[in-house]
């Protein structure tokens, strides 16, 4: 019989209690369970959460994270920038700031967006505590319980709990190598319309998608923006990776195509500078922004003043593009190492995407392999990935996995992929033995770089 | 008294173990003991020699902690420890070995067939699946031989689902079993020094009946303790006690069983059941009027008595 698990972490000591909190007695559980809001129900299973926590063991090569590499940021620059802030603006940098963020930060944001051809009105921009808060604020502003929200299948695993926490009715539209399938989206919109329903927004990561790595084609981008206009729908464009392109031609952001009427735009400094500074932003038209500002006030009053000063100092040095170019060089080499290792070590029954940028590759195994179970086996080989089910709200994606190439070096990536390939090959072999399947013919020639293998879902 | 609490480790149940350990540490501290928490790793023996505890409280679950490995080390180091001894751990960690012992002792356990992966890879075991399925019927349960909790346990409603379930179970262990599914009530009998505590019944929601994952979520499974068993209570307790004897348990343990049309059938025994806020052994102890502190104190006493009896 399984032990039920409490979802809380071990409690930290409250600051003012004179004695230790008496522990919950077993029969108290029901009392607490009765108090939990419906929105605390989580999509990800406890078993998967527990497995994911084991991936943090130091000996594990983790391709499960989504961390950018911050090791190449020069400590001397960091020290000089922070020193300048301390010497020149100590009192201000330690003070509260405006809820919308400083004008200086918004100038940096305009520079970043201009690099992808966008030119937002500073009035339409709010600085947020990371891009994650921007997703949260959008959902908080727009979603009532039961409201339909549309996202991609698979979608950013970190967005799923946000939508769940506002009790959205989340629908997923599948993607292929050209991003979200717009025909499928239109069919879904029609189906919802016959029930008199309309989604509050369509959430998309159009460039180097998390988790699949694919990029929405220019044609689909135009269609998506057009549909939003025709049907008066909001699209939430989440673009953390747009400037991390390693090959191919840039595509216009949805925000640029639309001009900011129906597209809300989410950006972040996390992947181009540092996730530790927790700085992101949201661009929205004034009526939406008004409500978002109220929501932001309720959440945390303002974004960290200190890190906004840091970003302004960093941008004043005018080396931020060069820094991104350095990062792109590092990530390109790591991505290529992952492609190479996948070709060598994954069995022919597996397929994977070939992203032109970003941080992730999405690999899909035969239907009969559940990647949550496979993770247990992989952990015995000291290697980890994110099971695909985390990117779906409906139990699909069970045979896919997300592989990150930004936070491990090339040697670790090669070794990690070799180990995963080994456990996958063992399970494929076992299944074929059990079912008496004959070995499949040798794999076709690998596709040219830049093209994407279609991937299947259960 | 100085008590080392062994927790964590490398098993897949590491997180549950950390929660069990934290709760035990609090209880032991409130009992006035000097507590040395140890996250079990490569330096365990060195740490134990340095700390030189009077007794070790084992709050490890799964491989390494529940399979006799740590118990053996503690025997060598001469440190008294809580829970069952090496022999009971070795017999109970492997569900297949445990079922053989139970059957030999005439304790009812659902019919099963077990394989390691070599049987499939090298001996053509796949050819026997049809007969096994005919014998066990559907739905059947496929599970890894080792490991607690529900990791890797799958139901197969028909023959077409068996290969996939086998592959999943083989992700957790090199040995798996196919087991006849017993329709009925899910019960857990916790025992302390060979005495049965009130029985816990798990009542999953109807839609979660075949979803082991649901057992992990608060609110998705109801637990009733003491379970209202009526006339079945005697046979259930009897089965649990005979399982305890058959596997050579001492200290404490938990017997999981199903109460179906053919009476109680033992599924498995847990040498180190969970000790978290939501675990079943503490729930049963509480129903017997034993607080968690009382329970930990009693468990420590039993460990010292066993060591004393041996020394004497």
Q: With 90 as the cut, is the pLDDT of residue A85 above it?
A: yes
Which tokens hold the place of B291? Answer: 């607080």
Interface test with A, best of B22, B132, B171 (most A CBs within 10 A): B171
Cα–Cα distance measured from residue A301 to residue A295, given in angstroms and rounded to the nearest whole number: 9
Q: Is A170 helix (H, G, I), strand (E, B) or coil?
A: strand
Q: Which residue from A26, A373, A436 is facing B278, i.e. has the nearest CB? A: A26
Residue pLDDT, tens place only, A386-416 = 999 889 987 777 899 999 999 999 999 999 9
User: Phi first, then psi: what are they for A150, rounded to 5°?
Assistant: -115, 135
Residue pLDDT, tens place only, A286-308 = 999 999 999 999 999 999 999 99
For the annotated catalytic residues of B, the residue numbers are 13, 149, 216, 254, 256, 268, 270, 274
Question: Which CATH number does B91-108+182-271 carry?
Answer: 3.30.470.20
Residue ranges of the alpha helices (H) in A348-403? 371-380
Nearest to A353 by CA among A362, A340, A344, A345: A362
Give yes or no for a contact between A150 and A202, defined as CB atoms under 8 angstroms apart: yes
Whether the CB of B264 is below 8 Å from some CB of chain A: the reply is no
Give yes or no for a contact between B184 and B167, defined as CB atoms under 8 angstroms apart: no
B118: left (phi over 0), alpha (psi -120 to 50) or beta: alpha
Contact state of B292 with A25 under an 8 Å Cβ cutoff: yes
For chain A, list residues whose CB is within 8 angstroms of any CB belonging to chain B: 1-7, 10, 20, 23-27, 29, 32-33, 36, 41, 45-47, 49-51, 53-54, 57, 368-370, 373-374, 376-377, 379, 423, 427, 429-431, 433-436
DSSP H/E element including A336: helix A320-345
pLDDT value, residue A457: 33
Give yes or no for a contact between B248 and B87, defined as CB atoms under 8 angstroms apart: yes
* Chain B (154-173) residues lying within 8 Å, Cβ to Cβ, of chain A: 162-164, 166-172
Q: Is A315 helix (H, G, I), strand (E, B) or coil?
A: helix
Q: Angle at which helices B162-169 and A371-380 pack, to 10 degrees?
A: 30
Residue B141 exposure: Cα atoms within 13 Å on the Cβ side: 22
Cα–Cα distance measured from residue A312 to residue B136, given in angstroms and rounded to the nearest whole number: 69
Q: Which residue from B26, B215, B280 is facing A20, i.e. has the nearest CB? A: B26
Nearest to A55 by CA among A293, A375, A338: A375
pLDDT value, residue A7: 42
Using only C-alpha atoms, chain B has a radius of gyration, in whole angstroms, of 19
The Cα angle at residue B58 between residues B53 and B61, in degrees rounded to 5: 155
Average pLDDT, chain A: 88
Nearest to B140 by CA among B154, B150, B130, B128: B154
pLDDT value, residue A458: 29
**Dihedral angle computed from the Cα positions of residues B96, B99, B101 and B105, in that order, rounded to the nearest 10 degrees:** -170
Give residue limits of the domains in chain B. 2-82, 91-108+182-271, 112-180
Residue pLDDT, tens place only, B84-97 = 999 999 999 999 99
Q: With 80 as the cut, is the pLDDT of residue A114 above it?
A: yes
Give yes or no for a contact between B256 and A1, defined as CB atoms under 8 angstroms apart: yes
Which tokens hold the place of A57? Answer: 């063991």
Q: How many CB atoms lie within 10 A of CB A326?
A: 14
A–B interface: beta-carbon pairs under 8 A: 151
CB burial of A42-53 (b: ≥16 within 10 Å; e: otherwise) equals ebbbbbbebbbe
Residue pLDDT, tens place only, A27-42 = 444 456 567 776 666 5
A217 exposed, middle or buried (CB, 10 Å; 0-12, 13-18, 19+)?
middle
Contacts 24+ apart (CB under 8 A), A143-150: A143/A167, A143/A168, A143/A200, A145/A38, A145/A39, A147/A199, A147/A200, A148/A192, A148/A197, A148/A198, A148/A199, A148/A200, A149/A199, A149/A200, A149/A201, A149/A202, A149/A203, A150/A185, A150/A188, A150/A199, A150/A201, A150/A202, A150/A203
Q: What is the mean pLDDT of residues B65-83?
A: 95
* Structure-model confidence comparison of residues A373 and A40, the more confident one: A373
Write the DSSP assignment of A74-115 as a string of letters: -HHHHHHHHHHHHHHHHHHHTS---TT--HHHHHHHHHHHHT
Q: How many CB atoms lie within 10 A of CB A171?
A: 20
Cα–Cα distance measured from residue B210 to residue A363, given in angstroms and rounded to the nearest whole number: 29
DSSP H/E element including B299: helix B292-311
* Chain B (96-125) residues lying within 8 Å, Cβ to Cβ, of chain A: 117, 120-121
Q: Which option is the CATH number for B112-180: 3.30.1490.20, 3.40.50.1370, 3.40.50.300, 3.40.50.2000? A: 3.30.1490.20
Contact state of A27 with B286 under an 8 Å Cβ cutoff: yes
pLDDT value, residue A448: 45
Cα–Cα distance measured from residue B274 to residue A50, given in angstroms and rounded to the nearest whole number: 15
Nearest to A326 by CA among A71, A5, A35, A44: A71
pLDDT value, residue A100: 97
Cα–Cα distance measured from residue A150 to residue A234, given in angstroms and rounded to the nearest whole number: 10
Give yes or no for a contact between A124 and A260, defined as CB atoms under 8 angstroms apart: yes
pLDDT band of A437, cuts 50, 70, 90: low
pLDDT value, residue A13: 39
Query: A32 to chain B: which residues are within 8 Å by CB?
Result: 218
Q: Which residue from B16, B30, B121 is facing A3, i.e. has the nearest CB? A: B16
Q: With 70 as the cut, is the pLDDT of residue A48 above it?
A: no
Which tokens hold the place of A376? Answer: 């247990």
Give yes or no for a contact between A268 and A279, defined as CB atoms under 8 angstroms apart: yes
Give yes or no for a contact between A99 and A293, defined as CB atoms under 8 angstroms apart: yes
Which tokens hold the place of A202? Answer: 């369509």
Percent of all residues in chain A with a pLDDT value above 70, rounded to a whole number: 85
Whether the CB of B13 is below 8 Å from some CB of chain A: the reply is yes
Q: How many CB atoms lie within 10 A of CB A349?
A: 18
Give yes or no for a contact between B156 and B142, defined as CB atoms under 8 angstroms apart: yes
Give yes or no for a contact between A413 and A361, defined as CB atoms under 8 angstroms apart: no
As a whole number of Å, the end-to-end CA separation of chain B is: 20
Whether the CB of B256 is below 8 Å from some CB of chain A: the reply is yes
Q: What distances in angstroms separate CA A325 from CA A81, A273, A329, A338, B145, one per listed residue? A: 21, 11, 6, 20, 51
Cα–Cα distance measured from residue A355 to residue A211, given in angstroms and rounded to the nearest whole number: 11
Which residue in chain A is spatially nearest to B186 when comparing CA positions?
A1
CB burial of A120-141 (b: ≥16 within 10 Å; e: otherwise) equals beeebbbbbbbbbbbbbbbbbb
In which residue are the tokens 């406890």 written? Answer: A46
The structure's pTM equals: 0.85
Contact state of A434 with B163 under an 8 Å Cβ cutoff: yes
pLDDT value, residue B152: 86
Q: Angle at which helices B44-51 and B69-77 pack, to 10 degrees?
A: 40
* Structure-model confidence comparison of residues B189 and B123, the more confident one: B189
| Alpha-carbon B41 to chain mean position | 22
Q: What is the mean pLDDT of residues A434-453?
A: 53
Write the DSSP assignment of B208-234 as a string of letters: GTT-GGGGGSBTTEEEESS---GGGHH
Cα–Cα distance measured from residue A171 to residue A188, given in angstroms and rounded to the nearest whole number: 9
Q: With 50 as the cut, is the pLDDT of residue A18 above it?
A: no
Instruction: Looking at mean pLDDT, say which of A82-86, A161-165, B39-43, B216-220 comes out highest.
Output: A82-86
pLDDT value, residue B223: 87
Domains and CATH numbers, chain A: 46-66+323-432 (3.90.1150.10), 93-316 (3.40.640.10)
Residues whose CB falls within 8 Å of the CB of residue B76, separated by 6 or more in sequence, listed in order: none
Residue ranges of the alpha helices (H) in A218-285? 218-231, 254-258
Q: What is the mean pLDDT of residues B155-168?
A: 93
Q: Where are the beta strands (DSSP E) in A147-261?
A: 148-153, 169-176, 179-180, 202-204, 235-238
Q: What is the DSSP letter of A345?
A: H
Determine the topology of domain B2-82 in CATH: Rossmann fold (3.40.50)
Residue pLDDT, tens place only, A258-295 = 999 999 999 999 999 999 999 999 999 999 999 999 99
ipTM beyond cut 0.90: no
A393 exposed, middle or buried (CB, 10 Å; 0-12, 13-18, 19+)?
buried
Strands B2-7 and B55-58: parallel
Q: With 70 as the cut, is the pLDDT of residue B12 above it?
A: yes
As a whole number of Å, the end-to-end CA separation of chain A is: 29
């Amino acid at each position: 019989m399984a032990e039920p698990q409490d979802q809380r972490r071990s409690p930290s000591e409250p600051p003012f209690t004179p004695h230790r909190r008496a522990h919950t007695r077993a029969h108290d559980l029901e009392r607490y369970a009765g108090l939990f809001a419906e929105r605390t129900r989580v999509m990800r299973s406890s078993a998967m959460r527990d497995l994911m926590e084991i991936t943090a063991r130091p000996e594990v090569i983790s391709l499960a994270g989504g961390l950018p590499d911050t090791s190449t940021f020069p400590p001397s620059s960091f020290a000089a920038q922070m020193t300048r802030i301390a010497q020149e603006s100590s009192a201000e940098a330690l003070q509260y700031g405006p809820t919308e963020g400083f004008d200086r930060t918004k100038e940096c944001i305009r520079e970043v967006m201009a690099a992808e051809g966008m030119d937002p009105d500073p009035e339409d921009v709010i600085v947020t505590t990371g891009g994650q808060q921007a997703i949260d604020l959008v959902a908080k502003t727009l979603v009532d319980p039961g409201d339909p929200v549309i996202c991609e299948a698979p979608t950013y695993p970190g967005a799923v709990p946000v939508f769940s926490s506002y009790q959205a009715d989340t629908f997923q539209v599948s993607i292929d190598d050209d991003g979200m399938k717009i025909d499928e989206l239109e069919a879904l919109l029609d189906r919802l319309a016959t029930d008199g329903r309309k989604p509050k927004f369509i959430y998309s990561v159009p460039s180097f998608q998390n988790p699949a790595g694919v990029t929405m084609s220019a044609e689909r981008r135009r269609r998506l923006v057009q549909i939003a206009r025709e049907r008066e729908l909001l699209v939430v464009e989440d673009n953390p990776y747009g400037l991390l392109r390693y090959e191919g031609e840039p595509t216009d952001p949805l925000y640029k195509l639309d001009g900011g009427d129906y597209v809300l735009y989410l950006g972040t400094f996390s992947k181009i500078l540092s996730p530790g500074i927790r700085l992101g932003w949201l661009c929205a038209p004034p009526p939406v922004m008004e409500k978002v500002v109220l929501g932001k006030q309720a959440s945390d009053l303002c974004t960290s003043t200190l890190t906004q000063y840091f970003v302004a100092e960093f941008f004043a040095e005018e080396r931020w593009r060069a820094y991104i170019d350095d990062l792109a060089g590092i990530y390109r080499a790591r991505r290529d190492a992952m492609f190479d290792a996948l070709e060598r070590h994954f069995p022919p029954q597996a397929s994977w995407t070939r992203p032109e940028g970003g941080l992730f590759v999405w690999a899909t195994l035969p239907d009969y392999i559940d990647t949550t179970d496979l993770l247990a086996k992989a952990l015995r080989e000291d290697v980890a990935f994110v099971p695909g089910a985390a990117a779906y709200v409906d139990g699909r994606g069970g045979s896919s996995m997300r592989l990150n190439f930004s936070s491990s070096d090339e040697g670790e990536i090669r070794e990690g992929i070799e180990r995963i390939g080994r456990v996958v090959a063992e399970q494929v072999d076992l299944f074929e033995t059990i079912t008496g399947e004959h070995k499949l013919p040798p794999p076709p020639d690998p596709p040219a770089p830049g093209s994407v293998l279609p991937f299947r879902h259960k | 008294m100085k008590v080392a609490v062994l927790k964590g480790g490398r098993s897949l149940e590491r997180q549950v173990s950390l929660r069990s350990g934290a709760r035990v540490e609090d209880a032991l501290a409130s009992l006035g003991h000097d507590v040395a928490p140890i996250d079990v790793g490569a330096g365990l023996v060195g740490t134990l020699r340095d700390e030189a505890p009077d007794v070790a409280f084992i709050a490890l679950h799964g491989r390494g902690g529940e399979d006799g490995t740590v118990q053996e080390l503690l025997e060598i180091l001469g440190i008294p420890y809580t829970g069952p001894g090496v022999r009971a751990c070795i017999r109970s960690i492997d569900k297949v070995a445990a079922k053989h012992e139970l059957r030999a002792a005439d304790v009812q356990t659902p019919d099963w067939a077990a394989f390691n992966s070599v049987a499939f890879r090298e001996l053509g075991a796949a050819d026997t699946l049809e007969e096994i399925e005919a014998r066990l019927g559907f739905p059947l349960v496929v599970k890894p031989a080792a490991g607690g909790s529900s990791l890797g346990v799958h139901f197969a409603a028909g023959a077409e689902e068996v290969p996939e379930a086998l592959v999943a179970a083989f992700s957790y262990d090199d040995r798996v079993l196919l087991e006849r599914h017993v329709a009925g009530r899910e019960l857990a009998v916790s025992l302390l020094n060979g005495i049965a505590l009130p029985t816990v019944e798990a009542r999953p929601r109807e839609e979660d009946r075949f979803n082991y994952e649901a057992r992990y979520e608060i609110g998705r499974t109801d637990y009733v303790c003491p379970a209202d068993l009526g006339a079945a209570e005697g046979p259930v307790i009897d089965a649990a006690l005979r399982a305890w004897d058959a596997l050579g348990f001492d200290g404490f343990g938990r017997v999981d069983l199903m109460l179906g049309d053919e009476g109680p059938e033992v599924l498995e025994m847990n040498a180190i059941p969970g000790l978290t806020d939501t675990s079943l052994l503490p729930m049963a102890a509480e129903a017997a009027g034993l607080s968690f502190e009382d329970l930990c104190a009693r468990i420590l006493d039993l460990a010292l008595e066993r060591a004393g009896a041996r020394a004497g």
